[in-house]
Amino acid sequence: MRIAAILSDYDGTLCPTSSLRSQNNAIPQGLEDILWTISEKIPICIVSSKDFNFLHSRTRFAVIISCILGIETLVLSRHERGTITTDKKCIIKEPDTNNLSCIKSSHLLLDTQVLHNNSKVLASLAEAIELKFKQVIVERKFTTASSDVGGILAGVTIDWRHLEDWRLFKKNTEPVLENMINKQTGQLSSLPSLYIQTYSSHPFIDVYATR
């Protein structure tokens, strides 16, 4: 049997998990070298809840990146080994966007107008949560920008794994937080609903522009 491709998660699979985007949760060098070698023979695809802005420089061996749990999927030109800033494929294609020349094609799971409408509710929700629950970290996930469509807020993670006693927060406060999210997302009425992902044992909640 010949392996045609490799699909992998990123955070917690190829590298340790991190609650902060600013933390350098990079793939260990030894594993990254192996992935580069494999990528010369078969394509590697990353499927992640993170957005492209986070994944791009960390997974340069991948030729497909499915971001924000599939809301945006990008097909890329093959990168060369070395720092991302010196790769000629990774240059801005159009002024006033972050559309890179390494992006060969992209696909959005929803119509851009629906995404824009749902992103307004997501943005309002993220701000309200930050005001009411100051101890949590709110991570915003955006689609890439192109010449005609700006980056759209397509996902939000409400994260409290950095708290010393996050289990107590999960037991006592997560139900209040979830109730607030449900009330806020009720604004969408006839539009496709936001998708709320809760977990039985993990210290965070995800809210996406669509399932």
Every domain of the chain and the residues it spans: 6-108, 112-208
For residue 65 the two structure tokens come to 């990146």
What pLDDT does 145 receive?
77
Dihedral of CA 14/206/145/131: which sign? negative
The predicted-structure confidence for 118-147, as pLDDT tens digits, reads as follows 888 899 999 999 999 999 999 999 999 765
Integer Cα distance of 154 and 58 in angstroms: 21
What pLDDT does 128 receive?
93
For residue 208 the two structure tokens come to 């996406």
The predicted-structure confidence for 18-70, as pLDDT tens digits, reads as follows 655 555 678 999 999 999 999 999 999 999 999 999 999 899 999 999 999 99
In order of 130, 137, 196, the CA distances from 162 in angstroms are: 15, 9, 21
pTM: 0.85
Integer Cα distance of 180 and 19 in angstroms: 22
Nearest alpha carbon to residue 204 among 144, 143, 155: 155
First to last CA, the chain: 34
